[in-house]
Amino acid sequence: MSGNIYTEASNFLLNHKTGSLKSRIYSAHNASQNPRASPARLYALIMETLKHQDLLNEVIENSGILSVEKKLNHTIALLLLHDHLLLKPGKDCISLSASHPLKSAVLRHKARLSAELTRSRLRRGFPTVEALKVAAKSCEEGTTNIPRWVRINTLKTTLKGVLSTTPFDSFTKVVSLQSIFDPPENSQNVYYVDANIPNLLAFPVSVTQMLTSHKLYAAGALILQDKASCFPAHILNPPPGAHVIDACAAPGNKTTHLAAIMSGGCGMHGKGRITAFERDPRRSEILLKMVNQAGANGIVEIRKASDFLKSNPQTDPHLGYTTHLLLDPSCSGSGITAREQAESILTKFTPLTLPAQSHSVQAKKRKRPTSPPPLEPENEETPTIPNDEAAAALSTRLTTLSGFQLTLLLHALSFPHAKRITYSTCSIYCQENEHVVVAALLSPIARERGWKIDSELSMLKEWKRRGIVEEVENMAKGLLKHNEELDHSWVKDVAMGCVRCDGGDGTGGFFVACFVRETDRSEVGYTFIQEEEREPQGEHEEMFEEWEGINDVVEAREGSKLPIISAPKKRNKAPRNSHKRVKILRRKK
């Protein structure tokens, strides 16, 4: 079987070498006496295939094509199916002759493959292949004004130390972020010192390779971290000596940022502690490597393969005195930029383990066996699902995610000595953002303990983009009890306490809010208006016994599915004392 673009692309994927993929492809092309494919076409095939590898992997696995077609391996199948299913929807674009064995191996199963593609695509909320491709292209175009952000790790060095190191000492400082994209004609090597986050620099994306090959990067002194990703630790701002929890810590950028903030200077460790939870064993190893490389192992305790939701501050002495918590849970990732995804897809590529019969495309010549029967599609026709059902699938996914996010946040609110909590997502959806914040604020645990939103956000006073007032108001109205009324100044303050980012801010899509609690209720900016009699809540354990937790699916005012908090169960026994029932949070006069 002669060589072709697919075997050549497969070799580049499977043979990991130093240097970028593009430089490897062009170098091989220039060195070859008889190149088989243009380097541009080869690079495009690999990158476009990997952008959709999760979807294509589902098609491969669910169709069972590898178990039938012994000439195919996983990598070759990925590349072939990209051109067959995605390059030009409805047309076969495999760049092989009609009689080529690899092409025949795919075309024998085109009905089943098409059906599996449709199912996988619709599960992601895209009604057509074109819609999927347009969304990917739009995301890529939205990253043109996002620089390469670099956080100076003050556990290892200082801003002044970095800027005095070669080649940064020859870079020109610019006074605006826009100048990163339109540098002066006499200098392409420029940097910008961020106005919001200390020790954060912006560089043109073109210098990324220089940054990642620099000795300071290898030493953990430079950390590539998006500006918005720096907001949670910056807003939490734990002082030296604080006891902090990072509830969903991997890969560790926010964890090491917390450590740098608490250190108070280069290499200076206070007596504080950061407990970093990560429930996934593989990601726990990544976290460990990141913490060690950043020099934060003296202050960070990693709980490997440990679930924050199973932690108990009442029985664990290391957690009982936690004062600050950072929550950055799993989310839809709808705010992640295409550039961030593209830079990670090569590292995520792992060939599937195949049966022992054949791992090679270069089969020995032998008597050709009878062609295997085609895989039968589950239905004769490719299933079609209306757009509203695709939207419903997305809504269901957001409901599941927001339910988990709210559970995590409520657990954090229960820590007895906690006084400051940040909640963040890399999502653009209000279901994961404002809705979760409002549901947490109006929960029994937040009311009982006096939690409120930090609407001042002194660490980011100049940031203009805040929460969506209408989403805060609508969610709050859906959660109020019959005898409660909404204070609109409370709504505005909650929205002001939510920070949003998007591509226009030089970042990806991001959301963060900060919850604060003061031990003296009289000092809290909002208080409960007492109205009718009820029995007081007892100890916190008693409150948890009564609270029913999250309703995974409930009808909201607009008919969407949203997670909300159940009302506490009513007791049958008579109250011991006369107390007033909570009405609603309202600003004191």
Provide the token pair at 510: 């991001």
Instruction: Give the residue from 500, 522, 544 where a domain finishes.
Output: 522
Query: SS3 string of 96-158?
Result: CCCCCHHHHHHHCCHHHHHHHHHHHHHHCCCCCHHHHHHHHHHHHHCCCCCCEEEEECCCCCC
User: In the structure, what pLDDT confidence band is assigned to residue 589 with cuts at 50, 70 and 90?
Assistant: very low
The pLDDT tens digits of the residues spanning 236-245 come to 999 999 999 9
Per the structure, the complete domain to which residue 211 belongs is given by 148-224
User: In the structure, what pLDDT confidence band is assigned to residue 384 with cuts at 50, 70 and 90?
Assistant: very low
For residues 61 and 191, membership in a common domain is answered with: no
Provide the token pair at 305: 């393969």
* CATH number, domain with residue 251: 3.40.50.150
471 is in an annotated binding site: no
Mean pLDDT of 524-536: 34
User: In the structure, what pLDDT confidence band is assigned to residue 17 with cuts at 50, 70 and 90?
Assistant: low
Lowest mean pLDDT among 119-133, 283-297, 333-347: 333-347
Mean pLDDT of 83-93: 85
**Given this model, what pLDDT does residue 562 score?**
36
Mean pLDDT of 439-454: 96
Classify strands 190-193 and 200-203 as parallel, antiparallel or unpaired.
antiparallel
Q: Which of 139, 230, 331, 426 is catalytic?
A: 426
pTM for the whole structure: 0.64
Q: State the average pLDDT for the chain.
A: 79
Judge whether 93 counts as a catalytic residue: no
Output Rg (C-alpha) for the chain, integer angstroms. Answer: 27
**Given this model, what pLDDT does residue 127 score?**
80
Give the count of alpha carbons within 13 A of 445, CB side only.
26
For residues 197 and 238, membership in a common domain is answered with: no
What DSSP string describes 350-364? -PPPPPTT---SSPP
Residue 308 within any structural domain of the chain = yes
Residue 82 within any structural domain of the chain = yes
Residue 540 within any structural domain of the chain = no
- 150: which strand partners? 201, 224
DSSP annotation of 522 reads: G
Provide the token pair at 334: 């709808």
pLDDT(555) > 90: no
CA-closest candidate to residue 402, choices 253, 244, 511, 279: 511
Query: 22: exposed, middle or buried (C-beta count within 10 Å: 0-12, 13-18, 19+)?
Result: middle
Q: Number of folded domains in the chain?
A: 3
250 is in an annotated binding site: yes
CA 230 to chain centre: 14
pLDDT(356) > 70: no
User: In the structure, what pLDDT confidence band is assigned to residue 416 with cuts at 50, 70 and 90?
Assistant: very high
Residue 170 within any structural domain of the chain = yes
253 is in an annotated binding site: yes
Residues 408 and 451: their CA atoms lie apart, in Å, by: 15
Cis check: omega of the bond before 238, within 30 degrees of 0 = no
For residues 457 and 476, membership in a common domain is answered with: yes
Q: Report phi then psi at 217, rounded to 5.
A: -70, -45
Instruction: Give the residue from 122, 141, 160 where a domain finishes.
Output: 141
User: In the structure, what pLDDT confidence band is assigned to residue 269 with cuts at 50, 70 and 90?
Assistant: low
Provide the token pair at 67: 């178990």
> 559 vs 291, which has greater pLDDT?
291
For residues 118 and 12, membership in a common domain is answered with: yes
Mean pLDDT of 512-538: 52
Residue 411 within any structural domain of the chain = yes
Residue type, 506: G
575 is in an annotated binding site: no
Mean pLDDT of 186-190: 77
pLDDT(541) > 50: no
For residues 20 and 169, membership in a common domain is answered with: no
User: In the structure, what pLDDT confidence band is assigned to residue 434 with cuts at 50, 70 and 90?
Assistant: very high
Query: 58: exposed, middle or buried (C-beta count within 10 Å: 0-12, 13-18, 19+)?
Result: middle
For residues 216 and 280, membership in a common domain is answered with: no
> 424 vs 543, which has greater pLDDT?
424
**Given this model, what pLDDT does residue 518 score?**
82
Helix, coil or strand: residue 298: coil
Q: Report phi then psi at 277, rounded to 5.
A: -95, 140
For residues 173 and 120, membership in a common domain is answered with: no
Mean pLDDT of 3-14: 87
Residue 177 within any structural domain of the chain = yes
Residue type, 3: G
Residues 306 and 280: their CA atoms lie apart, in Å, by: 8
pLDDT(536) > 70: no
**Integer distance in angstroms from the first to the last C-alpha of the chain?**
83
Percent of the chain with pLDDT over 70: 72
The pLDDT tens digits of the residues spanning 131-178 come to 777 666 655 544 557 899 999 999 999 999 999 999 999 999 999 998
Helix, coil or strand: residue 2: coil
**Given this model, what pLDDT does residue 545 score?**
33
Block residue for tokens 């940064």: 168
Cβ atoms of 191 and 171 within 8 Å: the answer is yes
Residues 398 and 382: their CA atoms lie apart, in Å, by: 27
Angle at alpha carbon of residue 258, lines to 441 and 208, rounded to 5°: 115
Query: 397: exposed, middle or buried (C-beta count within 10 Å: 0-12, 13-18, 19+)?
Result: middle
Mean pLDDT of 1-24: 75
Q: Report phi then psi at 559, rounded to 5.
A: 90, 0
Residue 155 within any structural domain of the chain = yes
pLDDT(455) > 70: yes
58 is in an annotated binding site: no
**Given this model, what pLDDT does residue 325 score?**
99
**Given this model, what pLDDT does residue 164 score?**
97
Mean pLDDT of 81-103: 89
For residues 283 and 421, membership in a common domain is answered with: yes
For residues 114 and 166, membership in a common domain is answered with: no
For residues 83 and 170, membership in a common domain is answered with: no
For residues 298 and 422, membership in a common domain is answered with: yes
Residues 117 and 555: their CA atoms lie apart, in Å, by: 32
Residue 564 within any structural domain of the chain = no
**Given this model, what pLDDT does residue 508 score?**
86
* CATH number, domain with residue 200: 3.30.70.1170
Instruction: Give the residue from 199, 224, 249 where a domain finishes.
Output: 224
For residues 430 and 311, membership in a common domain is answered with: yes
The pLDDT tens digits of the residues spanning 34-72 come to 666 788 889 889 988 888 888 898 899 999 999 999 899
DSSP annotation of 563 reads: E
DSSP annotation of 558 reads: T
